[in-house]
């Protein structure tokens, strides 16, 4: 068996319900996972939840419930959202899983025995809402650089991981591997960060301050720092070290999709952890941007939450996916607004795609009783466009650009709509040019069929509906895009429903 394409989301922190930022990351990963399946590859898609740490413990206590009970109650909210959004993950890891805890302990023990973990004195500034320690240099006007809140100065005995030992290696690795960090601006950001001496990472918390964490095997007084715990999931979930056969099949990960706010953990701490364990590096860490509303990051700490469940229920899962994938280039920030979503919906989904499907299948029904009359065996500009779109879509996805991929599919959809205006099938029908009408409609329907298949990774529900009109396979692969001209005289194409009925006014 060839190595599956292994793709991961970050683990989501369970102390609040999921928001649009979580949905965005999982929709991106789901799109890439579907694309690689579409390309005929095996895929292993991992997501899950990060369930340890001070913030979760505090939230549970504030609610007056046992911490384990609290995290158990939060996990279904994430799983429910992923089910509603059609996220096809292969495994869901929880950092409270016994296998994960054991794995983290083995990792710690190995690094401790190797001398890469040592006991030291910790002096630093801690931001509780962010679960982040900061050095004095990192503070902004004495406050947390991420959330601008007050920080507490802390002195304590803790264990440290020797990041400094691997700094030169890491810089060289990033420089020699241009595909390791995307987009390039983030790669430069990390290389810039690495120009300063790297401080060793404090990877423990005293049990007196925090008991809700994984036990450190060589100290009864400490638990593991939540980031060290969470990052290990990418290998613990696939069998490290308990099932090395599975691990060796899947590792290294091909793509770690992360938000730009957790880039440093994934491109400094994580590769050094792997290097210290003598494991291979992941292929790519891609840092996506944030969704903002009126300029502020959408997150629970700011409070301007856009509920992805509500949005997808109101406008449909594919509309929500389409908006997030099409509105911004992967890596950039996006401004979310319901008006923008409605605008995209009406223009792209209703006018372009929905209209094309409805008008072409309706004309076939009206003029030929829903059966293909004849086919065009001569030159066809829609055929040419279909193959250009297919190749551009594939290239764009290989370059982590779902927006350009969708845009390439739309080139075919727009060309087909234009072809309707140019050829005027209604006039051909009136003039009884039956042969020509039959050829025009077969080219148009072939374009609809092609578009429907290409949309599979991006708009899965819509793709299934369009493929269904032709009686074709609901999960097409790239091989199906080798052939233009599958439609033959006498074949039936069902009349499509209105896939995206126009939204006249914002629904309230």
Least separation in angstroms between residue 202's CB and Zn ion is 16
Rounded to a whole number of angstroms, the minimum distance from the CB of residue 54 to Zn ion is 12
Q: Is the previous residue joined to 164 through a cis bond, with omega within 30 degrees of 0?
A: no
Instruction: Output 127 or 253, the one with its CB closest to Zn ion.
Output: 127
**Closer to Zn ion by Cβ: residue 96 or 132:** 132
The nearer residue to Zn ion, 85 or 144, going by C-beta atoms, is: 144
CB-CB contact of 238 with 197 (8 Å): no
Q: Which is nearer to Zn ion, 130 or 392 (CB)?
A: 130
Q: Token pair 């950092």 is at which residue?
A: 95
Which of 134/182 has CB closer to Zn ion? 134
The HSE-up count of residue 379 (CA atoms within 13 Å, CB side) is: 1
Residue at token pair 């234009």: 418
Residue tagged 């929500």 (tokens)? 320
CB-nearer residue toward Zn ion: 130 or 154: 130
Residue by residue, DSSP assigns 426-472 as HHHHHTT-HHHHHHHHHHHHHHHHHHHHHTTTTSHHHHHHHHHHTT-
> Under 8 Å CB-to-CB from 224, ≥6 apart: which residues?
52, 104, 108, 203, 204, 205, 213, 214, 215, 216
Q: How far is the CB of 16 from Zn ion (least distance, A)?
A: 15
Q: Least distance (Å) from Zn ion to the CB of residue 138?
A: 11
Q: What is the Cα–Cα distance from 231 to 166, expressed in whole angstroms?
A: 18
| Shortest CB 134 distance to Zn ion, Å | 8
**Closest to 420 measured CA to CA, from 440, 392, 436, 404:** 440
| CB neighbourhood size of 402 (10 A) | 23
- Specify the residue, 147 or 279, whose C-beta has the smaller distance to Zn ion: 147
Residue whose CB is less far from Zn ion, 134 or 400: 134
What distances in angstroms separate CA 94 from CA 16, 44, 49, 51, one per listed residue? Answer: 15, 17, 5, 7
Q: Which is nearer to Zn ion, 127 or 276 (CB)?
A: 127
Least Å from the CB of residue 130 to Zn ion:
3
Q: Rg of the chain's alpha carbons, rounded to an integer? A: 26
CB 332: neighbour CB atoms within 10 A? 14
Query: What's the closest the beta carbon of residue 101 comes to Zn ion, in angstroms?
Result: 27
Do 286 and 256 contact (CB within 8 A), yes or no?
yes
Provide the minimum distance between the beta carbon of 146 and Zn ion in the complex, in angstroms, as a whole number.
5
**Position closest to Zn ion via CB:** 144
Write out the residues near Zn ion by the rule CB under 5 A. Answer: 127, 130, 144, 146-147
Least Cβ distance, residue 296 to Zn ion (angstroms): 15
* Minimum CB distance to Zn ion, residue 141 (Å): 13
Q: CA dist 265 to 83, 271, 276, 358, Å?
A: 28, 9, 15, 48
Contact present, 286 and 257 (Cβ < 8 Å): yes
d(CA 210, CA 224): 10
Under DSSP, is residue 223 helix (H, G, I), strand (E, B) or coil?
strand
């Amino acid at each position: 068996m060839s190595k599956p394409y292994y793709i991961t989301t970050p683990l989501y922190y369970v102390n609040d319900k999921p928001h649009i930022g979580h949905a965005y990351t999982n929709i991106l990963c789901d799109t890439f996972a579907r694309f690689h399946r579409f390309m005929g590859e095996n895929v292993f898609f991992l997501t899950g939840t990060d369930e340890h740490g001070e913030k979760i413990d505090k939230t549970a206590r504030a609610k007056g419930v046992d911490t384990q009970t609290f995290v158990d109650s939060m996990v279904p909210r994430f799983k429910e959202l992923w089910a509603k959004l059609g996220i096809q993950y292969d495994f869901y890891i929880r950092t409270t899983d016994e296998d994960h805890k054991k794995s983290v302990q083995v990792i710690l023990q190995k690094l401790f025995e190797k001398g890469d973990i040592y006991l030291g004195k910790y002096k630093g500034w801690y931001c509780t809402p962010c679960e982040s320690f900061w050095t004095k240099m990192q503070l902004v006007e004495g406050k947390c650089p991420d959330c601008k809140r007050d920080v507490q100065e802390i002195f304590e005995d803790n264990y440290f991981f020797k990041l400094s030992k691997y700094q030169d290696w890491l810089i060289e690795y990033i420089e020699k591997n241009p595909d390791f960090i995307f987009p390039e601006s983030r790669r430069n950001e990390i290389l810039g960060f690495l120009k300063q001496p790297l401080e060793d990472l404090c990877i423990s918390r005293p049990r007196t301050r925090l008991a809700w964490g994984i036990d450190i095997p060589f100290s009864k007084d400490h638990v593991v720092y939540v980031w060290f715990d969470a990052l290990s999931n990418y290998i613990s979930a696939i069998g490290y070290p308990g099932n090395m056969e599975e691990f060796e099949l899947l590792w290294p990960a091909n793509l770690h999709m992360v938000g730009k706010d957790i880039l440093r953990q994934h491109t400094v701490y994580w590769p050094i952890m792997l290097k210290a364990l003598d494991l291979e590096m992941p292929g790519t860490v891609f840092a996506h941007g944030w969704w903002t509303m009126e300029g502020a990051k959408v997150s629970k700490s700011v409070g301007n939450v856009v509920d992805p469940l509500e949005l997808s229920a109101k406008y449909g899962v594919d509309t929500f996916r389409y908006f997030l994938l099409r509105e911004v280039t992967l890596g950039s920030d996006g401004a979310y607004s319901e008006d923008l979503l409605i605008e995209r919906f009406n223009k792209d989904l209703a006018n372009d795609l929905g209209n094309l499907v409805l008008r072409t299948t309706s004309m076939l029904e009206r003029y030929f009783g829903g059966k293909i009359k004849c086919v065009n065996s001569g030159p066809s500009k829609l055929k040419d466009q279909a193959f250009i779109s297919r190749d551009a879509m594939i290239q764009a996805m290989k370059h982590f650009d779902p927006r350009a991929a969708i845009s390439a599919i739309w080139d075919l959809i727009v060309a087909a709509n234009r072809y309707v205006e140019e050829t005027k099938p209604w006039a051909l029908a009136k003039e009884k040019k039956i042969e020509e009408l039959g050829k025009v409609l077969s080219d148009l329907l072939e374009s609809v069929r092609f578009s429907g298949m290409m949309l599979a990774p991006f708009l899965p529900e819509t793709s299934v509906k369009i493929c269904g009109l032709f009686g074709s396979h609901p999960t097409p692969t790239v091989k199906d895009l080798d052939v233009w001209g599958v439609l033959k005289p006498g074949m039936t194409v069902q009349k499509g429903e209105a896939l995206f009925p126009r939204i006249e006014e914002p629904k309230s």
